[in-house]
């Protein structure tokens, strides 16, 4: 390996020659680089001479011939494929970074390379129950009245508790509220309602508890009028989920005109604690709106589920029409 000549220490000392990374390791090119650097210092206005010729093996194995940042693939002496990226420096030298073939995409777009990329609000430090709720339930269309009532109650509880806190006591909620069966909840007396506690502490504030009991009775009336609470909710979105396409968490709204419309109708029917913010949280959780970010793997999965359900509904409607005609 050639050894760089030790230069005398002075105010005009020349910097050490740069190393070029080749397939077999670092190779220091001294003679021509050293001469060119000295020449440029003595004649600063003199045009820079042509860059010293790099051995053909280095060019062939590691450097793309394009003059811009690029990547290409080739094989070294061992037959293993490599992909190279380079940036042309001001002094003309081109340090090369060698990475295994296929790793460039991951380096350029780490989020795209992750198959489980989630919405921004789910982080590696998030509660596992919250992450599981995001991955398996949030945004999935719900048509079961009992489940819809449960999600409505949880959306109301968000004014006092966070999603992770609610999910950690979800089993307690289900036990105390008769598995959220509307007819069973409607039979709970006020005394039993105010006695609902966790470790001696009230489950929710008294107004929220009273609202749950009152809403159960109102829900029963909605079932009588529309056949089910599901039919009532889904008619506001024409029985097809709203598919938003937000890229960033800050773009996701806390309420929408559609949520305000549903909120007004619920309050007109006697429901309590169902403001637009509560209603929109309910719409997101129950899948009436798909607010997963488009970079989240669940956004596409929920859309596939929506398409399948819509196809099934169309087929069922056609069967009912054929049966009626017969």
**pLDDT tens, 74-84?**
444 444 444 44
* Contact by Cβ (8 Å): 116, 39: no
Spatial CA neighbour of 140 closest among 285, 242, 279: 285
216-263: per-residue pLDDT in tens?
999 999 999 999 999 999 999 999 999 888 898 899 899 999 999 999
Residue 19 has pLDDT above 90, yes or no: no
The Cα 187–Cα 185 span in angstroms is 5
Tokens representing 271 are 């429901």
H helices present in 63-205, as ranges: 103-108, 110-113, 128-136, 145-157, 163-168, 170-176, 182-186, 190-194
Give the pLDDT of residue 311.
52
The Cα 319–Cα 308 span in angstroms is 17
Instruction: List binding-site positions for Zn(2+).
Output: 119, 134, 292, 296
Q: What is the DSSP string of 38-55?
A: HHHHH-TTSPPPPPPPPP
* Contact by Cβ (8 Å): 241, 289: yes
Give the pLDDT of residue 110.
37
Instruction: Compute the C-alpha angle 255/256/259, nearest 5°.
Output: 85
The Cα 80–Cα 75 span in angstroms is 5
Residue 304 has pLDDT above 50, yes or no: yes
**What is the assigned CATH class of domain 128-319?**
mainly alpha
Number of CB atoms found within 10 A of residue 39's CB:
12
For residue 262, the number of C-alpha atoms closer than 13 Å in the C-beta half-sphere is 26
Give the pLDDT of residue 322.
59
Instruction: List binding-site positions.
Output: 119, 134, 292, 296
Instruction: Compute the C-alpha angle 291/294/298, nearest 5°.
Output: 70
Kindly list the domain boundaries of the chain, sorted by start residue. Answer: 57-113, 128-319
The Cα 13–Cα 7 span in angstroms is 7
Tokens representing 188 are 């709970």
Give the pLDDT of residue 237.
95
Mean confidence (pLDDT) of the chain: 72
The Cα 143–Cα 286 span in angstroms is 8
The Cα 298–Cα 284 span in angstroms is 13
Sorted by sequence, the CB contacts under 8 Å of residue 109 that are 6+ apart come out as none
* Contact by Cβ (8 Å): 302, 292: yes
Residue 177 has pLDDT above 60, yes or no: yes
């Amino acid at each position: 390996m050639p050894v760089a000549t030790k230069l005398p220490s002075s105010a005009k000392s020349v910097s050490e020659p740069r190393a070029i990374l080749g397939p077999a390791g670092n190779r220091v090119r001294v003679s021509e680089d050293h001469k060119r650097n000295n020449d440029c210092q003595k004649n600063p206005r003199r045009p820079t001479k042509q860059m010293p010729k790099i051995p053909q093996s280095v060019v062939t194995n590691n450097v793309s011939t394009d003059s811009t940042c690029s990547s290409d693939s080739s094989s070294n002496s061992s037959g293993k494929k490599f992909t190279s990226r380079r940036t042309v420096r001001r002094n003309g030298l081109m340090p090369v970074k060698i990475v295994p073939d296929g790793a460039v995409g991951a380096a350029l777009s780490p989020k795209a390379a992750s198959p489980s990329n989630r919405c921004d609000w789910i982080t590696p430090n998030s509660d596992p129950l919250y992450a599981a709720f995001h991955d398996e339930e949030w945004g999935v269309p719900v048509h079961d009245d009992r489940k819809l009532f449960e999600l409505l109650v949880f959306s109301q509880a968000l004014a006092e508790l966070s999603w992770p806190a609610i999910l950690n006591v979800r089993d307690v909620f289900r036990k105390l509220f008769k598995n959220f069966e509307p007819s069973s909840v409607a039979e709970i007396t006020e005394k039993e309602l105010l006695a609902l506690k966790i470790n001696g502490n009230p489950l929710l504030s008294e107004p929220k508890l009273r609202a749950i009991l009152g809403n159960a009775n109102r829900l029963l009336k909605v079932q009588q009028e529309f056949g089910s609470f599901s039919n009532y909710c889904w008619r506001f979105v024409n029985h097809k989920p709203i598919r938003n396409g937000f890229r960033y968490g800050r773009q996701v709204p806390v309420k929408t005109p559609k949520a305000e419309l549903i909120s007004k109708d619920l309050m007109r029917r006697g429901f309590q604690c169902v403001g637009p913010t509560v209603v929109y949280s309910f719409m997101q959780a129950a899948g009436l709106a798909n607010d997963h970010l488009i970079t989240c793997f669940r956004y596409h999965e929920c859309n596939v589920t929506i398409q399948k359900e819509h196809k099934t509904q169309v087929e069922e409607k056609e069967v009912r029409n054929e049966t009626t005609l017969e």
